[in-house]
Amino acid sequence: MVNNFDQIEKLLKFENEGDCYYVQLLRRQSDDPMIDGIPDPAYHGNMHSRSLKDYLISSIEHFQELKKEMIQLCDMFNVRAYIRLNKRNYKNIALKMLRHISEQVESGETYSSPYHLVSSATGSVCQAGDEKTWIIDMDAEYLPYKDEVYRMILGCEPIKSYFTALNEEWGILLDVKKHLIEYNFTEIPTKHGIHIITRPFNKKSFADQWTEYCQANNITAPIPQTKFDETQIHFSLTDKYLGHVDSFSSILQGLGATVIITKIDKNKTIVHSSTNFNFSDLEKEWHKYCVEKSFWMKQPDIHKDNPTILYVP
């Protein structure tokens, strides 16, 4: 279980009339129970189709009042509560909805479901202004490199200039720790790691530093996300791993495993494997393959206006 209610409550600011925060109770693909190996459609598709319920939080008191209900629904339906830490505002949500309706009327051709209007408008209207934050998504495999990630962020503009102006030795993490809170650095626990909440920065500079670091330290893509049961190992391949499904399967087969490949959708393929091999041998062969193909560990995902974890059962 992950419960961030108390920590996130301290980050909420209601400064103008109509300020609000967007909360969704979402089914995550990774939480699909896959009963008998069959995916549940309710856990797949776009965010709206996977949302059990949405909220617009209008005050700290409102947030506290809804806490019990949100937790109960998450526990009952196996969903997660997410909150966007970039503020919204009722006025801008209403204007966005009105614009969308007028565009549909003007086209006179296609009308989307009116039930989608609020979630669509709320998801796209950000009123955070100068306090806008981004999320760096770091699952367990990235945590050993957390200090390096901080150093890379601190080496990107405009954050670099901010700390340099303070006459800090920004290249040494310990020297800037006392300023991280002032600059809105926050760590939010997730189910498998953390979200680092920070101000916007130069993404290309970060990407260049990450690639250079991985190449210099021979840090390759880790084994795909793995789930064990009594008779099989299930490897979930997504994103850049999708181009290596056949090669990964061949490595397993070379170790004596029996393999079945299931394509869930265009974004996810699961490789089901028997367990009759040494897992450490798989890690060695996969690392060797990645070095040969220059398949380095991808940088942590950086989200410009995505939700962070509020509660996970």
- 185 lies in the same domain as 282: no
Residues 9 and 125 in one domain: yes
The structural domain count of the chain equals 3
Residues 109 and 6 in one domain: yes
Residue 117 pLDDT: 85
Residues 182 and 110 in one domain: no
Calculate the average pLDDT of the chain.
88
The Cα 171–Cα 157 span in angstroms is 13
> Are 245 and 277 members of one domain?
yes
Q: What is the pLDDT of residue 220?
A: 96
Same domain, 107 and 57: yes
C-alpha–C-alpha distance, residues 226 and 233, integer Å: 7
Predicted pLDDT at 188: 96
Q: What is the pLDDT of residues 99-155, one digit of tens each?
A: 988 888 887 767 777 778 888 899 899 988 888 999 999 999 999 999 899 889 988
Could you tell me the residue range of the domain that residue 51 belongs to? Answer: 2-129+306-312
Residue 163: the pLDDT is: 73
What local confidence, expressed as pLDDT, does residue 184 receive?
Answer: 66
Residues 123 and 8 in one domain: yes
Instruction: Looking at the structure, tell me whether residues 53 and 123 fall in a common domain.
Output: yes
**102 and 15 share one domain:** yes
Question: Any idea what the Cα angle at residue 111 is, between residues 108 and 114, rounded to 5°?
Answer: 135
- Residue 235 clears pLDDT 90, i.e. is over it: yes
Query: Is 142 in the same domain as 236?
Result: no
Whether the Cβ atoms of residue 170 and residue 177 lie closer than 8 Å to each other? no
- Residues 199 and 236 both lie in one domain: no
> Per-residue pLDDT for 224 more than 70?
yes
Is residue 170's pLDDT more than 60?
no
Positive/negative CA dihedral, 287, 190, 118, 303: negative
- pLDDT of 171 higher than 70: no
Q: What is the CATH number of the domain that holds 233?
A: 3.30.70
pLDDT tens-place string over residues 28-80: 776 666 666 667 676 676 666 678 899 999 999 999 999 999 999 999 999 99
For residue range 283-299, list pLDDT tens digits in order.
999 999 999 999 999 99
pLDDT in tens, 176-215: 555 565 566 899 999 999 999 999 999 999 999 999 999 9
239 against 248, higher pLDDT: 248
Same domain, 235 and 211: no
